[in-house]
Amino acid sequence: MSRIKVERRPSPERLKELGVNQWPIWTKEVSEFPWTYDEPETCYFLEGEVTVTGADGETAQVGQGDLVIFPAGMSCTWKISRDVKKHYRFG
């Protein structure tokens, strides 16, 4: 299975190239919940801090300023330690 890909502080040019500002926004308060990705998700964190732990034990700490790609088929647990606000795109 592919792994979580994290790009720290991508350039404004990279974000513009991806069209990030056109993507919907998702917000979530401090919490913990399981999630499974039916398709890949690319997201850009505007605010917040999260530890994502995959079923295989892989852990990624992501948050404000990170561009993250979660692979299709991944099952994980999200533990949000600071309220999240992110742009996201599936597929």
List the chain residues with pLDDT less than 70.
1-2
Q: What is the domain partition of the chain in residue ranges? A: 5-90
C-alpha to C-alpha distances, 42 to 2, 20, 88, nearest whole angstrom: 14, 9, 6
Q: How many angstroms separate the CA atoms of 43 and 70, rounded?
A: 8
The structure's pTM equals 0.94
Q: How many angstroms separate the CA atoms of 57 and 23, rounded?
A: 29
Q: What is the pLDDT of residue 1?
A: 46
Q: What is the pLDDT of residue 20?
A: 98
CATH class of the region 5-90 = mainly beta
Closest CA to 4 of 66, 48, 46: 66
